[in-house]
Amino acid sequence: MPLWNLERAGGVVELVYDNPPRNFLTFAALEELGAHLSDLADDPDAAVIVLASADEDRFIAHADLDELGRLADGPVPEARAWYTTMRLIETMPQPVVAAIDGQAWGGGLELALACTLRWAGPRAHFSAIETALGIIPGAGGSQRLIRLIGRGPATDLVITGLRVDADHAARLGIVSRVLTGDFRAEVRASAAALADLPRAAVAAAKRVLREGAELGLSDALRLEGGAFGELLATPESLRLQQAARERYARAAAGDQVGFGGLGEPA
């Protein structure tokens, strides 16, 4: 029986995790997720991937502790999915959104940190619980967290295991949005708006943000400039630039015009 249920709506693909009773994250779940993502990475109809939960109280509680016990006895080949699936989330062209409304501790937090964007509901809460178990994050959690929110806050969270709620997580920068209405509906609406943006530009932005964070400033600027130059003369970009010029011309003539993903009229 699958642990991830795939649902499509236009360019948005939802992968909904369902592993009762507590939505622990298993090796099998990560392998299954990796297989889905490998297929979706090359799917021209998939613009945005959303990782969600069928459990109303949990995104992913944490890693399955019985499986961690197996690792203590020696290498477990399928455990490699903790690394390969996380890296696939980061490197596939589409943005991957973690939709979190409930518990995201330990491995659940680590999976969320690998995602491109994290959108939380008001009931979301986060904790790097590993030190309480006599271990540390082992799937990139400490390293992604320090790059995301900085050394001081990351050190506090990783060493103490402090539990933070959605608003605190937003202030720290762990999540970019706290959605306070109908969470599932707001996630779908936001993901649909993201899916409507030019896909080549979104993929390039994701790539340069990820790769640039691992480079010195001079190399990162060259990376950004190269991607900008590649996009600038594409047919899609030229068409969108011309459409923007025409909207500005209409605005100068007194028309009220909007710019969609660009925000309010200038």
State the catalytic residues: 110, 130
Residue 266: CB partners within 8 Å, gap ≥ 6? 248, 251, 259
Task: Specify whether the CB–CB gap between 52 and 104 falls below 8 A.
Answer: no
Residues 265, 252: Cα–Cα separation, whole Å: 11
- The two beta strands, 117-120 and 164-165, are unpaired
Q: Which of 90, 29, 101 is nearest to 63 (CA)?
A: 29
The phi, psi pair for 86, rounded to 5°, reads -60, -45
Tokens of 211: 């790769």
Q: What is the 3-state secondary structure (H, E, C) of 63-114?
A: ECHHHHHHHHCCCCHHHHHHHHHHHHHHHCCCCEEEEECCEEECHHHHHHHH
Q: Say if CB 92 and CB 86 are below 8 A apart.
A: no
Inter-residue contact 130 to 106 (CB < 8 Å): yes
Give 117's strand partners.
97
Three-class DSSP category at 18? coil
Q: In 3D, which of 13, 12, 8, 22 has the Cα closest to residue 108?
A: 22
